Amino acid sequence: MYSSIHRVKIVYMMKKLYRVLVLGVLLVPAAYADECPSCLECPGASGIEAAISASGISEEELLARLVYAETASTGFPHDPVMYEAISWGVMNRVRLGGASPSMQKAFGKGIHGVVFQKGQFNPALSQGSPFSREFLCPGDPRKWEKAQVAARKAMEGEGNPFISTEWEKRHGLSLVVNFYYPSSVQAQEPYAPWENSTALRFVEEVRIGDSVVPPERVRFYRLSRPPGDVTDIRGVR
């Protein structure tokens, strides 16, 4: 016969197994429980955005969750530079949208609007994507720390590595707002669908600190022309 302690352990393990198999909840080791964010539930067809809205998480956590999942989808989740590169790419959209009505219409308003703009960030936000689970339930504390650090740095905005043209330096805004993950399991082609678009130019070298982001990991694109409706940028930081 099992002792009461053994019975408790068996019940506990059965509950854990149920959560994994039925609820699809990724379990975090107890030692790391305080280092990863809480898992968010996405019941039925209500959608991931509804789960985020109901959770009340901060914009910093929202950005970190996106960066965590998007980096996982690139195939290079152990490279800290990837987290920072993607964080800057997202915040470039946020800031450019804050200064340009046309860019805000294209990319969304604020971090929440940019993250959930229709048709964007499918690796992390499409419920049919395997990486949406990474967004809802980040489970690796080391990778989560990288995502948090990168998100916080990009939100602070100092030393944006994508500001290099004269226009960008003058306005304090980057026009690098498109990016593509050619090595992702979800990538259908080695080049982005907009590769030959005259509206965008491929950025041949992206340097973050002492590291160069290999284009086979992330391909970045700069708008060929700045938006003509850029207004006061003092409030977009």
Q: pLDDT per residue over 33-52, tens digit each?
A: 448 999 988 765 568 998 89
- What does the block give as tokens for 119? 């048709």
Report the alpha-carbon distance of residue 184 to residue 3 in Å, rounded: 49
Give the pLDDT of residue 43: 65
- Write the pLDDT tens digit of every residue in 167-200: 999 999 999 999 999 999 888 898 999 999 999 9
Rounded to two decimals, the pTM is 0.82
Choice between 64 and 5, residue whose per-residue pLDDT is larger:
64
> Is 231 domain-assigned?
no
Same domain, 128 and 18: no
Tell which residue, 226, 95, 236, has the closest CA to residue 166: 226
> Is 235 domain-assigned?
no
> Is 229 domain-assigned?
no
> Is 96 domain-assigned?
yes
Same domain, 156 and 189: yes
Give the pLDDT of residue 218: 96
Report the alpha-carbon distance of residue 237 to residue 234 in Å, rounded: 7
Q: Which domain holds residue 14?
A: 1-31
> Is 5 domain-assigned?
yes
> Is 164 domain-assigned?
yes
Handedness of CA 178, 182, 187, 191 (dihedral sign): positive
> Is 234 domain-assigned?
no
Same domain, 168 and 213: yes
Asked if residue 26 has pLDDT above 60, the reply is no
| Conformation bin of residue 41: beta by default, left when phi > 0, alpha when psi is -120 to 50 | beta
Choice between 130 and 12, residue whose per-residue pLDDT is larger:
130
Same domain, 16 and 102: no
Percent of the chain with pLDDT over 90: 68
Give the pLDDT of residue 24: 42
Same domain, 76 and 157: yes
Same domain, 48 and 129: yes
> Is 13 domain-assigned?
yes
Asked if residue 84 has pLDDT above 60, the reply is yes
Question: How many domains does the chain contain in total?
Answer: 2
Same domain, 120 and 193: yes
